[in-house]
Chain A
Amino acid sequence: MSAADPARAVGPVGTSTERIWRRFSSAQRLARFTVYLVIVAAIVVSIQTVEVIPEFLADAPEQVADLLARMWPIDFAHYPGTVHAALTETIHIATLGTLLSLMLAVPVGILAAHNLVPVTPLNLAAKLILVSSRSVNSLVWALLFVGIFGPGALAGTLAIAFRSIGFVGKLLGEALEEAQAGPIEALTAAGAPWASRMTFGYWPQVKPAFWSIALFRWDINVRESAVLGLVGAGGIGMALDSALNLFQWPRVAVILLAIFAVVILAEVAVTQVRRRVI
């Protein structure tokens, strides 16, 4: 970075110089200060505008205690019927959604990597697709797909898939851009066509990263799929939504516990697979 050397000697000529040391140059300090200023301003404005009704805040511990009391005893009997089916539906949504996103993300990720597809407009278009996919929350995607396909698991699966394209595509693009040029050069020199360069040059290098990304996203998608039902896109969220609307807190409790258990199981599964395969 261009910066005047902050370690310089000052003092009148001929006398022993008093050396000054600064950690950052003035320009660097200005930049850092600007960031601090913006952050503090944002915080101050936010605190002032967010409505905090003191009575509600003081009330909070009571409310929480009340909530916990209403949840007890936990309605475990409710589980085998609706909850279990909804839970398995959630897992299906997460898995199918992830798989679909992998299939869609690979072409987009390739298009976004400049070293594979040296056509900048295509790179930018692909990157735009990836950014939009990431920026729209999975719940919002779910809303959209419920509007198109009607309520149910299909909307949920597509929502998960479309949200994940951005994630997988971006990380895949990064892995591709960081692939070593050496093996690719060797293949090009041997006269390999583009497809062969992909299969034998890039794929072996990104394969571990690819599966790692896939596992990672599946783990997150399990969590995301659980709430999609709140907007009608299938899975356990729908059971949660009805229980909440009817104020059946013991059922809410068992549903929350079930979600928690599934999330933990998914993490354990992912850690095991990582250890063995990757």
Chain B
Amino acid sequence: MLTLKNLSKSYVAGTPVLQDVSLEISARGITAIIGASGTGKSTLIRCINRLVEPSSGQILFEGADLARLSGRALRHARRHIGMVFQEYNLVERLTVMENLLSGRLGYVPAWRAWRRKFPPEDIHRAFELLDVVGLAGFANQRADALSGGQRQRVGIARAVMQEPTLLLADEPTSSLDPKTSVEIMELLANIAHSRKIPVLVNMHDVELARRFADRIVGMAEGRVVFDGPPAQLTDEMLTTIYGGQGWLH
């Protein structure tokens, strides 16, 4: 359960990227955030786990305001929030297994992590996750030897290794071809439903959003202008979100 209250962010004083955004994410399943480039979708997602510092507002998650936390408290909170990135952000020189295990770094003491002495349950879970994402046998491949789609699967597995109660995805399919994009969205939907956690996905492909999301949040100029199931997303509404007429047909 995640509640955003009056979240605002300005990178440059006077030009807010996020204006007074209030949302409640409690449902399981995929919530897709759509909107034109630069309307604050990515900023919104990154404010939640404080990769970007919000200018004002509250982020209520698991009984604490994430916007106020720092140091160890913030790290502990981050453990429960998994994140998937547009460019996968895997550690290229490490193997797939090491990338997966890095999802447990919030739970394992630094010294043991350095020596790669992770608990056997973590290793077992990692192997299982590799099966789930369809990468069985890839454990010892270096991450930079994988294709884009494979890397994103590793990225998703890494996030799930954290046993998160919330999964964030910042344009997870923007660097992938259409077929792979669908596979990745299917994987995310699978995880949302099997683990019963909310998945907040930021995407620019409206068709993909319509197909996989249980709820769509449309943003324009830093504000929420649409919030509802995909069925309610009319062409008119899309024009409001993205502006302009020509692109719809």
Q: Do A and B bind each other?
A: yes
- For the complex, give the distance between the alpha carbons of A19 and B100 in Å: 15
CB neighbours of B120 from chain A (8 A): 18
**Interface code B75-103, partner A: CB below 8 Å = 1, 0 otherwise?**
00000000000000000000101100000
B140 near A5 with CB under 8 A, answer: yes
B124 near A7 with CB under 8 A, answer: no
Main SS at interface, chain B: helix
- From residue B162, how far is it (CB to closest CB) to chain A in Å? 18
Considering only CB atoms, which chain B residue lies closest to A3 in the complex? B140
- For the complex, give the distance between the alpha carbons of A6 and B95 in Å: 12
A19 near B123 with CB under 8 A, answer: yes
Considering only CB atoms, which chain A residue lies closest to B141 in the complex? A7
For chain A, the bracket of interface size reads under 10
Considering only CB atoms, which chain B residue lies closest to A25 in the complex? B140
For chain B, the bracket of interface size reads 10 to 19
CB neighbours of A9 from chain B (8 A): 127
Q: Would you call A275 an interface residue if the criterion is a C-beta within 8 Å of the partner chain's C-beta atoms?
A: no
Q: Would you call A23 an interface residue if the criterion is a C-beta within 8 Å of the partner chain's C-beta atoms?
A: yes
- For the complex, give the distance between the alpha carbons of A55 and B140 in Å: 55
What are 17 sample pairs from A and B whose C-beta atoms fall under 8 A apart? A5-B140, A7-B97, A7-B127, A7-B139, A7-B140, A18-B120, A18-B124, A19-B124, A19-B127, A20-B123, A21-B97, A21-B126, A21-B127, A21-B139, A23-B95, A23-B98, A23-B116
Known: A5-B140, A18-B124. 11 other contacts (CB 8 A): A7-B127, A7-B139, A7-B140, A9-B127, A18-B120, A19-B123, A19-B124, A20-B123, A21-B126, A21-B127, A21-B139
Considering only CB atoms, which chain B residue lies closest to A7 in the complex? B139
Considering only CB atoms, which chain A residue lies closest to B124 in the complex? A19
The 5 A-B residue pairs whose C-beta atoms are closest, nearest first, are: A7-B139, A19-B127, A7-B140, A21-B123, A23-B116
- For the complex, give the distance between the alpha carbons of A9 and B126 in Å: 13
CB neighbours of B126 from chain A (8 A): 21
Count of A-B contacts with CB under 8 A? 21
Instruction: Specify which of B95, B98, B126, B127 lies most central, judged by the most chain A CB atoms within 10 Å of its CB.
Output: B127
CB neighbours of B95 from chain A (8 A): 23
Instruction: Specify which of A7, A19, A20 lies most central, judged by the most chain B CB atoms within 10 Å of its CB.
Output: A7
- For the complex, give the distance between the alpha carbons of A98 and B71 in Å: 54
Q: Which positions in B face A, CB cutoff 8 Å? A: 95, 97-98, 116, 120, 123-124, 126-127, 139-140
CB neighbours of A5 from chain B (8 A): 140
- From residue B117, how far is it (CB to closest CB) to chain A in Å? 10
- For the complex, give the distance between the alpha carbons of A224 and B174 in Å: 54
- From residue A10, how far is it (CB to closest CB) to chain B in Å? 12
CB neighbours of A19 from chain B (8 A): 123-124, 127
- For the complex, give the distance between the alpha carbons of A5 and B95 in Å: 12
- For the complex, give the distance between the alpha carbons of A20 and B98 in Å: 13
CB neighbours of B139 from chain A (8 A): 7, 21
- For the complex, give the distance between the alpha carbons of A9 and B123 in Å: 11
- For the complex, give the distance between the alpha carbons of A5 and B116 in Å: 17
CB neighbours of A21 from chain B (8 A): 97, 123, 126-127, 139
Considering only CB atoms, which chain A residue lies closest to B120 in the complex? A18
- For the complex, give the distance between the alpha carbons of A9 and B136 in Å: 12
- From residue B36, how far is it (CB to closest CB) to chain A in Å? 40
B140 near A6 with CB under 8 A, answer: yes
CB neighbours of B123 from chain A (8 A): 19-21
Instruction: Specify which of B95, B98, B116, B140 lies most central, judged by the most chain A CB atoms within 10 Å of its CB.
Output: B140
Considering only CB atoms, which chain A residue lies closest to B116 in the complex? A23
Instruction: Specify which of A6, A9, A18, A19 lies most central, judged by the most chain B CB atoms within 10 Å of its CB.
Output: A19
- For the complex, give the distance between the alpha carbons of A166 and B123 in Å: 50
- For the complex, give the distance between the alpha carbons of A174 and B149 in Å: 37
CB neighbours of B98 from chain A (8 A): 23
CB neighbours of B127 from chain A (8 A): 7, 9, 19, 21
CB neighbours of B97 from chain A (8 A): 7, 21
- For the complex, give the distance between the alpha carbons of A18 and B140 in Å: 17
Instruction: Specify which of A18, A19, A20, A21 lies most central, judged by the most chain B CB atoms within 10 Å of its CB.
Output: A21
CB neighbours of A18 from chain B (8 A): 120, 124
- From residue A197, how far is it (CB to closest CB) to chain B in Å? 36
- For the complex, give the distance between the alpha carbons of A7 and B97 in Å: 9
